[in-house]
Structures are given as structure tokens and as C-alpha cells.
Structure 1
Amino acid sequence: MSDLPDLETLNFEFERKFFVEELPSEALEHGSHQVIVQAYLFAADGYAVRMRLAFPGRAVDLPPFDDTVDFLGAYERRLLVGLLAEAGDEVAAWIAVKSPAGTGERYEMEAEVDVSVAEQILRRSPNVILKNRYSLWYDEDGWEFDVFGGQNEGLIIAECERLAPVTDLRIPSFCRTEVTEDLRFTNDYLSKEPWRQWKDMYRQELRAKGPYFMDLRGPEGI
């Protein structure tokens, strides 16, 4: 029997997400990196349609957010203009359709689109996400670290993604707490309710409740 996942499984993403206080030095020094700029054309009740531009091999300086000029996506669009001017052919555009997530599993279908079309859509979108993404291996798992800018400045999320449910995961020490099932940490939510608006409340909540990590091992893993 083949060990390859079937085509239906390939349309699902299996990941666990964690709140991180500080980007690990290994990710900054040794990880591959890219800049991601994206907006949500539709987002409601966990369903979403996302447009993304990705700039592989790049990491952009994230200047402080300025309330007086950077509202309604102005910050992200300003940095996007600079990225596009320097990118040449090193940029890709994708549209994705997503379902609500449940226990680290979510339907996702992606298709590549024309860069110029994606650019014009992002230029017209009020709720834009911009982040540096660093990717590297820890133990036997690939990890991605998203360092957000703009209205989400200061937020770092780590993700571990596999081709099957992420159950027997060795959680590294850089993970402060798990946010896999916390909808506030989805990018579609952050595009409308950015981190800077509720970060103090969340940190108070984390101090009061302490860290939390899902146990998905089942009886055989105990």
C-alpha cells in the first residue's frame, strides 16, 4: 500500500500554532525567509478567501506603526510598493480558499494567480497583513515563524505543519502557549482586529491562566 497521502488529504492543512515571545536566534540566523503580504477578500465564521504576494529570500525591516498615517492598510501598502520595486521576478501570487479550523485541521485550496492582479487587489484592500516568515527544521519537524508588522507589530507566531494530524509533537521551549484553537490568532481575524488593539488584554489573560498545550496523543500515546 502506498504511503503517499491521497488527493483529498492534500487539500487539508494540518498544523499547530504557538504564541512566541521572542524569535529564536536559530530562525533568524539559519532559517530560510520570505516576506508575505496578504489580504482577505472574504472572511466570516472561519471561512476565508485570501490573496497573497510572497517574496522569497527576503526579510524587510518593520518600522514602528504610526497611528496618524498608517491606518487602513497604509503601512502595509507602503512597504509593498518598495518590495515590488526591488523584487523583479522574485515574487509569487496565490489565492486560497479556507474552511474553519478544528483541532489543528483546516481545508485549504490554493491556486497561483497573476502577480499584477494580486498587486492591484492588495492595493485596494483596507485590511492587510504583512509579515516576515522564517522557516527551519527542529528535530524532525519543519517550523515557520511569522513576525508581524504594521498594526500587528510585536506579534510572533510559530507553526508546525505536517501532511497528517500533528499529534506526537515535541513542543520546543520557545513556545509560550498554544493558540491552535484560538481564533484571535488566525490571520483573517488579525486583519480586522489587529494585535495592538488587544495585546495587553491577552497578556493579562495569559498571566492569569498560564500556558496551555493540547494533548492529541490519545490513549496509546500516554
Structure 2
Amino acid sequence: MEIERKFLVVSEAFKNQAEKKEKIVQAYLNSHPERTVRVRTKGEKAYITIKGKSSENGLSRFEWEKEIAIQDAENLLKLAEPEPIEKLRYEVKIGQHTFEVDEFSGSNKGLIVAEVELNSEDEKFEKPEWLGKEVTGNKRYYNSLLSKNPYKNWEE
């Protein structure tokens, strides 16, 4: 079970705190609301991931992931739904937690989102100054939906 909270990022100050940065390319073989099947390359590794439907509050959902050969991922990406997600992921340790900050490129350029994984839905965590509005449970920010309705198309 994956439990996470998601936030918009209001500055690039996180980049100075990052311990790691990797390029990610991912696309969806299935983006049905009840389950998604994702193929991802992350640095020199690749994964296939299945995620279940989110809980009502958007905080938790079932997740299954398996590492696969990079060549297999590249082949599967050719079968994926349109509009792959491209981003740089920064890992930033704040207190006892690691924030994964995704700086999107391509059709989602300009969007920066941070996620923190928790052990329970009510777990406390330190919020860095660059963390903005919480968007946990806002499906618009799910990567599977960003592939269908990219950030560049949003009207604010």
C-alpha cells in the first residue's frame, strides 16, 4: 500500500538541497481510473508498475512494481498510450522523510510537484519552505492524467 501526499512547489530552492537527480520517462499501457499500468525508465533502470484506485481522500492506493530490463521497457514504451511523461526527479531529505520533487518537461513544462511517502495517513512530517499548496487527491495532477491533459493545455 502506497501512502503519499502531493504538493505544488513554489520555488527552485529544493535544487540546492537535492541529494540525487535522475531523468524519468514514463508512459501508460493502461490508464483506466480503476487501475493504471505504467512503464518507466529511471536513470539506467526500468520498471513496470500497476497502481489501483486511490482511496476517497487520495492519500493511499495499492501499488505493485517490478524492475524489468531497460530494453523491455523501451519496447513497451512503443505500445503505450500517447503523450509520455518526461521529468527530472530530485530527491530531497527533510527531517526523517525524503521528498521526490518532479520538474516536468515536454508538454508538462512549468509544473513542479513534490511527493512525500508516509507510513500512515496521519503521520507528521516537516514541510520545507519551498512546499506550496497541497494537491493530494486532485486527480488533475496524477501522471496518468497529465499524459492525457498536459499542463500546457490548462487554463488557470
SS at match of 2:53: coil
Deviation at 1:194, TM superposition (A): 0.4
Distance in 1 between residues matched to 2:105 and 2:86, nearest whole Å: 6
Question: Structure 2 matches for 1:34-183, cutoff 5 A?
Answer: 34-55=22-43, 91-102=44-55, 103=57, 104-125=59-80, 126-183=82-139
RMSD: 1.6
Deviation at 1:175, TM superposition (A): 1.9
> Which amino acid letter does the alignment assign opposite residue 24 of structure 2?
I
Q: Is the 8 A contact 2:94 2:126 kept in 1?
A: no
Larger Rg: 1
Distance in 2 between residues matched to 1:107 and 1:122, nearest whole Å: 23
State the aligned residue count.
153
Distance in 2 between residues matched to 1:161 and 1:23, nearest whole Å: 21
Distance in 1 between residues matched to 2:117 and 2:42, nearest whole Å: 19
* More strand by percentage: 2
Q: Is the 8 A contact 2:39 2:77 kept in 1?
A: yes
Q: What are the superposed Cα offsets for residues 75-129 of structure 1, whole Å, 9 maximum, x if unpaired?
A: xxxxxxxxxxxxxxxx111101101222311110001112111102223432200
Deviation at 1:16, TM superposition (A): 0.2
Distance in 2 between residues matched to 1:21 and 1:156, nearest whole Å: 8
SS at match of 1:192: coil
Q: TM-score, normalised by structure 1?
A: 0.64
SS at match of 1:116: helix
Distance in 2 between residues matched to 1:182 and 1:117, nearest whole Å: 32
Distance in 2 between residues matched to 1:194 and 1:142, nearest whole Å: 26
Partner of 1:13: 2
Q: What are the superposed Cα offsets for residues 158-211 of structure 1, whole Å, 9 maximum, x if unpaired?
A: 11112333532333332221111100000000011101111x32xxxxxxxxxx
Deviation at 1:140, TM superposition (A): 1.9
Q: Is the 8 A contact 1:28 1:134 kept in 2?
A: no
Deviation at 1:141, TM superposition (A): 1.4
> Which amino acid letter does the alignment assign opposite residue 76 of structure 2?
I
List gaps (5 residues or longer) in structure 1: 1-11, 56-90, 202-222
Q: Is the 8 A contact 2:29 2:79 kept in 1?
A: no
Q: Is the 8 A contact 1:93 1:112 kept in 2?
A: yes
Distance in 2 between residues matched to 1:107 and 1:189, nearest whole Å: 18
Distance in 1 between residues matched to 2:122 and 2:83, nearest whole Å: 30
List gaps (5 residues or longer) in structure 2: none
Distance in 2 between residues matched to 1:163 and 1:29, nearest whole Å: 23
Relative to structure 2, which stretch is displaced further, 31-40 or 171-180? 171-180
